[in-house]
Amino acid sequence: EKVIVNDQIMNRSDASVDIEDRGYQFGDGVYEVIRVYGGQLFTGDEHLNRLYSSAEKINIAVPFQKGKLQSMLNKLIKENDIIDGSVYMQVTRGASPRNHVFPGEDVKPVLTAYTKVVARPEASLESGVEAIVADDIRWLRCDIKSLNLLPNLLAKQAAKEQGCYEAILHRSGTVTEGSASNAYIVSNGKVKTHPATNLILNGITRQVVMELCNDNNIPFSEEAFQLDELLEAEEIFVTSTTSEVMPIIRIDGKVVGDGKPGPLTRKLQSLFFEKIGVAHTK
């Protein structure tokens, strides 16, 4: 198995990171997960643009150009024979003696990447999954895809301990997003999701869903909604690179709609399947 460390593709067993890497010590870095379908990066450009933009927002210069990174990732996918899977990559501010203050120019950012075989979550996409509601205790720059995921992990773990798939977060009653996904409701026949402010990550899947709504005359608005509207929604779904368009059929134990994935969720799923080139029989 091959991995990328900076500009090298090497065996995973030969890769190492410094114990004073700032990503390791402070979570001082950013990351991306890109889906691979049929051996190809899906929305690779969009993910790479977001990586560069996240890095720039915290003053990290990604150590090489986008084109070069893209071709290295494609090479990695090929060498590891990934047909259906994902690429994880992160860039940290580099390794230097521990100090909150940024290191000097001589310290170079560290980029690492590896691939994984991942199956599509077909059974869950078909049946829908359950979610809990949790307090959004994150910082005020959720637009940055930062390595600091502790609040997200705590929320996801709480969901898991209650037998649920995802935690949908709210700030004082305003629903923001999932712990690792964007969150949507269908209310009066309209799809709603929180606007792309500093309070959420502007998901690439979110952007695909917005475009699908737009192209198919599905009523859609980037509009914040409250917890009570969530709990009364006709449909709920979440989206992410690995979860795709995932129906939520129970929220905090309460049945959503008639307890089955709703019609607009199904419609968006089938449009999404078409987009990624999956033969869909429903």
- The residues of the shown chain that bind ligand PMP, judged by CB under 6 A, are 33, 152, 177, 180-182, 201, 203-206, 239-241
Is the CB of residue 54 less than 8 Å from the CB of residue 61? no
Q: Which C-beta is closer to ligand PMP: that of 92 or that of 240? A: 240
Q: Which C-beta is closer to ligand PMP: that of 95 or that of 268? A: 268
Buried b (16+ CB within 10 A) or exposed e, 6-45: eeeeeeeeeeeeeeebbbbeeebbbbbbbbbbeeebbbbe
Spatial separation of the C-alpha atoms in residues 200 and 184, rounded to whole Å: 13
Rounded least distance, CB 133 to ligand PMP, Å: 15
Token pair of 18, please? 């410094």
- Pick from 19, 213, 171: nearest CA to 110: 19
Rounded least distance, CB 97 to ligand PMP, Å: 31
Q: Which C-beta is closer to ligand PMP: that of 82 or that of 95? A: 82
Is the CB of residue 159 less than 8 Å from the CB of residue 167? yes
Is the CB of residue 126 less than 8 Å from the CB of residue 120? no
Rounded least distance, CB 10 to ligand PMP, Å: 26
The catalytic residue positions are 145
Q: Which C-beta is closer to ligand PMP: that of 30 or that of 95? A: 30
Rounded least distance, CB 154 to ligand PMP, Å: 13
**Which residues face 132 on adjacent strands?**
167
